[in-house]
Amino acid sequence: MIDWSVCPAVERDSERVSGSWVFRGTRVPVAALFENLEDGVQLTEFIELFPGVSLHQVRTVLEYAARSLEVA
């Protein structure tokens, strides 16, 4: 399980989106990124589909997820 609490591109508030991790400043769940990527959506398309999410945030989330998979 990824500890999103130290990723600067996301936030969680128990009163928004059922407490799911979302892109900071939005109501877009981080899970939506991975679901869309699984469906073949390109990063630029994702950003168009979810206004308010920046390319920088998306890259930060992907880099954070990739680093969390590295063996220490």
For the chain, 72 residues long, give each residue's pLDDT as a single digit of tens.
Answer: 889 999 999 999 999 899 999 999 999 999 999 999 999 999 999 999 999 999 999 999 999 999 998 865
pLDDT number for residue 1: 80
Q: Which CATH class is domain 4-68?
A: mainly alpha
pLDDT number for residue 70: 83
pLDDT number for residue 72: 57
pTM for the structure as a whole:
0.92
d(CA 47, CA 54): 6
Q: Which residues contact 30 (CB under 8 A, 6 or more apart)?
A: 4, 10, 20, 21, 22, 23, 61
Q: Where are the domains of the chain?
A: 4-68
CB 24 within 8 A of CB 10: yes
